[in-house]
Amino acid sequence: MERGQVVRRVYGPAPDTEDGSQGVPLVHRDIHGYRRAFRLGGSGPPLLLIHGLGDSSATWAHILPRLGRRHTVIAPDLLGHGDSEQPRADYAVAAYACGMRDLLGVLDVDRVSVVGHSLGAGVAMQFAYQFPERCERLVIVGGGGLGPEVHPLLRLAAGPGSEVTLPLATSPPVRGALRLLAPLLRTTGGLGLGRHDFDYVLERYLMLDSSEARQAFLRTLRAGVDLRGQVITMMDRSYLTAGLPTLIMWGEHDGVIPVRHALRAHTAMPGSRLELFEDAGHFPHHDAPGRFVDVLEDFLATTTPQEYDPVLWRRLLRRGRVDVPLYQEVEPPHPSSGS
């Protein structure tokens, strides 16, 4: 498959998908005095997988054993998420990128290919821009930071007063009512999330059952979203991916971040590949895990890792960004007929 090619297919799960919770266990290390949880397994070139807002490394668990056949897989629980500690701390994207650098340092990993989903894609892009000498490839999955649009409920939660309303909205009676109403909500549009994303997003929401989890969620959310939408953009630095093998994967029925953000990113990132999953939402690695791994492994096998060149990096910085307006509507390229 040529770089820059767009492929649109109907994907289905592979029959050999495995349960990664058994194959790639969760381990813990203290870093900067905070407990950090991460999944580590497999062998081969290192592959870092970063989850999204309110999620955890468990989002990758079912595909890690297969990826681990050819790669050393590293899937952290971001600070404030999953089984990692939930302190009063800095939850900005740049802080998370530094956290990834430090985790790799603890694991004695110098360079890595990075896969990021949603918020994790923003962290992955920040990591690539902030530490180019450590990033070999970049994979963006339903990524944040590529445009202002985001689901209205996230904008609402980022607004004032959520410290009061979120504990009420996640109280045991409300959680119980939501579980009972879930079938009805699902059949009536899933609060705008659609059938692909509703169940998993609801499950993540119901896990905000402690004050620490809610505070970490709000701090992370508000670092990147306000009432008007996403406030952080990675588009202004997208030209820095010149020479960095980049794959963009997105579900065409994404109910959290619209698929047009994928088209913007593909236009702005020189030489990137774009893979659209026709029957998938915000979590293509859930909706089509077998094909997701096929696409990812093909990308990793057919691209050459970036070799950091400080002279080229300075030249790119001096030349400045390619002018791709953040709000520009980009028409999807004509899909290929690839199988």
Residue spans per domain, the chain: 6-151+232-319, 152-226
Mean pLDDT within 205-212: 87
Q: Quote the Cα angle for 44-63-78, to 5°.
A: 85
pLDDT in tens, 273-288: 999 999 899 999 999 9
pLDDT for the residue 8: 34
- Is the model's pLDDT at 11 over the cut of 50? no
Distances (CA, A) of 19 to 5, 59, 63, 87, 159: 32, 11, 7, 30, 38
Q: What is the mean pLDDT of residues 50-63?
A: 96
Residues 175-190: tens digit of each pLDDT:
788 777 777 767 666 6
Residues classed as catalytic: 118, 254, 282
Euclidean distance between CA atoms 17 and 163, whole angstroms: 40
Q: CATH topology for 6-151+232-319?
A: Rossmann fold (3.40.50)
Q: Which of 166-170, 268-272, 301-305 is the most confident on average?
A: 301-305
Distance CA 330, CA 267 (A): 8
Length of the chain equals: 339
The answer to whether the beta carbons of residues 112 and 104 sit under 8 Å apart is yes
